[in-house]
Amino acid sequence: MKAIYLDYNATTPLDPETVEAMRPCLDEVFGNPSSTHIYGLEARAVVEEARGKVAAFLNGRPDEIVFTSGGTESNNHAIKGIAFAHRDRGNHIITSAIEHPAVTEVCHDLEGQGFRVTFLPVDDRGLVDVEALKRAITAETILVTVMHANNEVGTIQPIEEIASLVRGRGIFFHTDAAQSAGKVPVDVESLGVDLLSLAGHKLYAPKGIGALYIRQGTKIGKFMHGAGHERNLRAGTENVLEIAGLGKACETAKRDLDRNRARMTQTRDRLHEGLRARLDVRLNGHPEQRLPNTLSVGFRGVDAGALLEEMKDIAASAGAACHGASVEISKVLRAMAVPMEYARGTVRFSTGKATTIEDIDRAVEIIASTVRRLKSP
């Protein structure tokens, strides 16, 4: 029997509609989008159609969308692009203690280049301390970057509140929406952000494609130098095949958002209820203000690595890595002060739009029996 996939926060399979949208670029649309002949114009039309679909998905404008190689590049471009373009005004950046490495590693790199970075604490549910953010802002602050939703525990941050706080202060606001896009509404106008990152493979598009939303009027440096592609911000011939896939994925995500969100909530909650009825588990993250598909739970007295190793029929992710006699707890769980007895046994399960009730019921039995077997003397 096929293994049950419960790791949609890590990556998603290609949606069939996305595959069909990409097929012409495999079969016949091969021109360079910068060429002015018919083959180039045909490819350019595909790129611009996709740009419009991504913009509509985010409630932005097509000319505010820059295609990238994925969420990591989008985050790098947003943070470094703002930092270096506005270094004459200040050198202070504010972020949170639970960001993805594609944000934290960029910030650490900038620290080595003379920037000062404040890492905001979070509470035991993973929410950023907005009061700490207020206190952290100085005359030198040029950028705040806080993720829309955490990839490990699913907690959704108060992005609108943060945007309201920094608006009018000359501070740019970036959010990494790689995990939230396609699961909850991601509307750049409602959120109030200046920059927003997307990763295609988190919403049923290919790996290796993403987008960066840059609000009109935002001064930002180039990510790569060369010819004047992507508003002269990101040099390199456009990846027409995967751009077409991202555009279609955004179109279907927008169309099916309510249905998919309801389905994922149902499967996530059924999994949680089934495990809670059978085992001693601790929910990590906010109980309500979280992604509809994400369930981070700690199993008391169990090592997450050993549990996943034993559960060959379930694909999920650990919140703690075991290295011989030591256990390395994720920075997210540490920042949330999750008790060690639960942190070392934390597993992230994330459902998707193809997850069935039958999958969940089978998974509950496999997980419960495996945990009991590992805990038995």
Mean pLDDT of 172-197: 98
Q: Could you give the percent of the chain with pLDDT greater than 70? A: 98
Whether 311 shows a pLDDT value over 80: the answer reads yes
What is the model's pLDDT at position 377?
Answer: 62
Conformation bin of residue 201: beta by default, left when phi > 0, alpha when psi is -120 to 50: alpha
Q: Where are the domains of the chain?
A: 4-11+257-375, 16-253
Tell me: the pLDDT tens digits for 127-145?
A: 999 999 999 999 999 999 9
Report the Cα 350 to chain-centroid distance in Å. 13
Amino acid type, 284:
N
Q: How confident is residue 24, by pLDDT bands cut at 50, 70 and 90?
A: very high
Three-state secondary structure string covering 284-316: ECCCCCECCCEEEEEECCCCHHHHHHHCCCEEC
Q: Which of 89-98, 231-240, 323-332, 363-372 shows the lowest mean pLDDT across its residues?
A: 323-332
SS3 label, residue 321: strand
What is the model's pLDDT at position 324?
Answer: 41
Q: How confident is residue 323, by pLDDT bands cut at 50, 70 and 90?
A: very low
The percent helix, strand, coil of the chain (3-state, each to 5) is 45, 20, 35
Tell me: the pLDDT tens digits for 289-300?
A: 999 999 999 999
Mean pLDDT of 209-233: 91
Nearest to 174 by CA among 81, 286, 48, 252: 81
Whether 49 shows a pLDDT value over 90: the answer reads yes
Whether 266 shows a pLDDT value over 60: the answer reads yes
Q: Could you give the percent of the chain with pLDDT greater than 90? A: 90
Tell me: the pLDDT tens digits for 361-377?
A: 999 999 999 999 998 76
Element (H, E) at 195: strand 195-199
Q: Does the active-site annotation cover 25?
A: no
DSSP letter (8 states) at residue 141: E
Cα 181 from Cα 130, distance rounded (Å):
23
Mean pLDDT of 144-162: 97
pTM of the complete model beyond 0.85: yes
Query: What are the CA-CA distances from residue 183 to residues 5, 141, 292, 351 (Å)?
Result: 17, 31, 7, 11
Q: Which residues does 176 contact at the CB level (< 8 Å), separation at least 6?
A: 71, 74, 75, 99, 100, 102, 103, 145, 147, 148, 196, 197
What is the model's pLDDT at position 325?
Answer: 42
| CATH superfamily entry for domain 4-11+257-375 | Aspartate Aminotransferase, domain 1 (3.90.1150.10)
Cα 324 from Cα 13, distance rounded (Å):
33
What is the model's pLDDT at position 230?
Answer: 86
Average pLDDT, the chain: 95
Query: What is the third-level CATH fold of 16-253?
Result: Aspartate Aminotransferase; domain 2 (3.40.640)
Tell me: the pLDDT tens digits for 1-12?
A: 789 999 999 999
Mean pLDDT of 173-179: 98
Q: How confident is residue 112, by pLDDT bands cut at 50, 70 and 90?
A: very high
What is the model's pLDDT at position 327?
Answer: 55
Mean pLDDT of 117-130: 96
Nearest to 271 by CA among 361, 170, 136: 361
Amino acid type, 199:
A
Two structure tokens written together for 345: 């046994």
Cα 114 from Cα 108, distance rounded (Å):
10
The one catalytic residue in 25, 107, 250, 322 is 322
Cα 315 from Cα 143, distance rounded (Å):
37
C-alpha triplet 69, 295, 3: angle, nearest 5°:
75
